[in-house]
Amino acid sequence: MNPVVEASRATALESRAYRPVGVSRLREFIEREWVFSWLILTPPVLFLLAFLGYPFFYGVYLSFFRREVAGPPTFVGFGNFVTLANDPIFWQSVGNTVKFTGAATVLKAFGGLGMALVMNQNFKFKAITRAVLLLPFIVPTVLSTVAWQWIYDPGLGLFNRLLVESGLAKTGPSWLGTPTMAMISVIIVNTWRGLPFFGISILAGLQTIPVDQHESATIDGAGTWDRFRHVTLPSLLPVILIVTTFSIILTFFDFQLVYVLTGGGPANSTHLMATYAYSLSMGAGQMGLGSAVALSMVPVLGLLLVLLTYYVRKD
């Protein structure tokens, strides 16, 4: 036998002989895959429980009390939820949230798909174009929303100046001053911010489709539309479902954009559930009612997370 191998074995046996039994067993226990995984996961899980779990459970606690900012809490049970059930502004915020989330998500899905198909082509300045298209997603929400406030300004805004100077209108519309235009305006800004996320995600999916599938379809006589319908779209469907579900979660709970742009107005026409919860808690000082509004969003979040987990595992 090789003397080098014998020497290494002898050294290993000798070191093992001098190693305490408890240390050896502890090391073997830690080296098990599931134990090591839990040791890695425990610190971030504890961090999340401390900084996310505590506020959540405290919010659940507050939702069962009538709690003013300056007064002691009074237990009311499900009284806050009964109040919300009879609150027309709450139901208006629910409807606004559904319209806002649905319209913005559909626009982002179709726009992101088109953006990905364009970016997947070979053309000059391709890298620069991709970088520019990513800017809306990179710029902080508050900063970009303030810029959009200027764009929507009735007197000095970019949109109205273009409409007036091009002769399309004598005076521009009040983008944030009427209920219908205000909702359209916040949907436009949310779509603008979310398009890069859709575009880059779908582009990544496009680049994983084998080229030979398109070549085989072309040989079989399939045109551009047929290749897209039978090859590209089925391959992208898992990615689109995952990105759409994730986007619904982000859009449903979008607070900064709407709060900075309209504050929920005019006439509560852009109040989402998130902004209404904030206005009740911080604006009106009704912490219990605000917590009840926030808690009413939890079932929707839970359902969306279940769908997202299902799509990820299925993919």
CATH number, residue 168? 1.10.3720.10
Do 24 and 172 have their domain in common? no
Is residue 66 in some structural domain? Answer: no
Within a domain: 60: no
- The Cα 307–Cα 315 span in angstroms is 12
Q: Is 72 domain-assigned?
A: no
Residue 11 has pLDDT above 70, yes or no: no
Find the mean pLDDT for residues 189-206: 88
Residues 49-60: tens digit of each pLDDT: 778 778 888 888
Percentage of residues of the chain with pLDDT beyond 70 = 85
Q: How far is CA 163 from CA 147, 157, 183, 184, 187, in A?
A: 19, 10, 20, 17, 20
CA distance 188 to 107: 9
Structure tokens at 64: 């069962």
Q: Mark whether 243 and 146 lie in a shared domain.
A: yes
Give per-residue pLDDT as tens, 221-266.
Answer: 777 787 888 778 888 888 888 888 888 888 888 888 888 888 888 8
Same domain flag for 15 and 121: no
Q: Lowest-pLDDT range, 111-115, 133-137, 301-305, 308-312? A: 308-312
| Residue 24: predicted pLDDT | 56
Residue 39 domain-assigned (yes or no):
no
List, as own/partner pairs, every contact residues 230-236 make where C-beta atoms lie below 8 angstroms and the sequence separation is at least 24, other chains included.
232/206, 235/205, 235/208, 235/209, 236/113, 236/202, 236/205, 236/206, 236/209
pLDDT-based confidence at residue 4 (cuts at 50, 70, 90): very low
Q: Which amino acid is at 286?
A: Q
Q: Which of left, alpha, beta for 78 (phi over 0: left; psi -120 to 50: alpha)?
A: alpha
Same structural domain, 285 and 210: yes
Residues 5 and 127 in one domain: no
Is pLDDT larger for residue 81 or for residue 124?
81
Residues 127 and 252 occupy one common structural domain: yes
Count CA atoms closer than 13 A to 257's CA, side-chain side.
29
Give, for 122, the enclosing helix (H) or strand (E): none
Do 9 and 102 fall within a single domain? no
Nearest-angstrom CA–CA distance, 248 and 226: 29
Q: Measured between alpha carbons, how far is 143 from 310 in angstroms, rounded to an integer?
A: 35
User: 96-118, pLDDT tens digit by residue?
Assistant: 999 999 999 999 999 988 888 88
Q: Is there a single domain that holds both residue 161 and residue 306?
A: yes
Residue 12 and residue 124 in one domain = no
* Whether residue 108 sits in one domain with residue 13: no
β partners of residue 66? 74
Q: Check pLDDT > 80 for residue 91.
A: yes
What is the CB neighbour count within 10 angstroms for residue 152?
A: 25
Q: What is the mean pLDDT of residues 189-208?
A: 88
Q: Which pLDDT score is estimated for 312?
A: 66
Distance CA(162)–CA(147), nearest Å, equals: 16
* pLDDT at res. 99: 92
Number of domains in the chain: 2
Is pLDDT of 314 > 80?
no
- pLDDT bin (cut points 50, 70, 90) of residue 35 is low
Domain co-membership, 26 together with 92: no
Q: Alpha-carbon distance 122 to 225, whole Å?
A: 19
Q: Does 48 reside within a domain?
A: no
- Count the neighbouring beta carbons within 10 Å of the beta carbon of residue 279: 20
Q: Which pLDDT value is given to residue 34?
A: 58
Q: Is residue 71 pLDDT above 50, yes or no?
A: yes
Look up residue 8 and give its two tokens.
Answer: 């290494």
Instruction: Please tell me the predicted confidence (pLDDT) of residue 28.
Output: 58
Give exposure, 176-207, as e/b (b: 16+ Cβ within 10 Å). Answer: beeeebbbebbbbbbbbbbbbbbbbbbbebbe
In a domain, 41, yes or no: no
More confident residue, 134 or 23: 134
DSSP code for 284? S
Task: Check whether 146 has a pLDDT greater than 50.
Answer: yes
Please check whether residue 122 lies inside any domain of the structure.
yes
Q: What is the pLDDT of residue 187?
A: 93
Q: Residue 165 is inside which H or E element, if any?
A: helix 158-165
Say which range, 28-37, 72-81, 115-124, 202-211, has the weakest mean pLDDT: 28-37
Q: Return the pLDDT at 264.
A: 85
Q: Is residue 171 part of a domain?
A: yes
Is the model's pLDDT at 301 over the cut of 50? yes
Same domain, 22 and 87: no
Instruction: Domain of residue 304: give its range.
Output: 80-314
Q: What average pLDDT does range 28-48 have in this prediction?
A: 69
pLDDT tens digits, one per residue of 164-175:
888 777 777 788
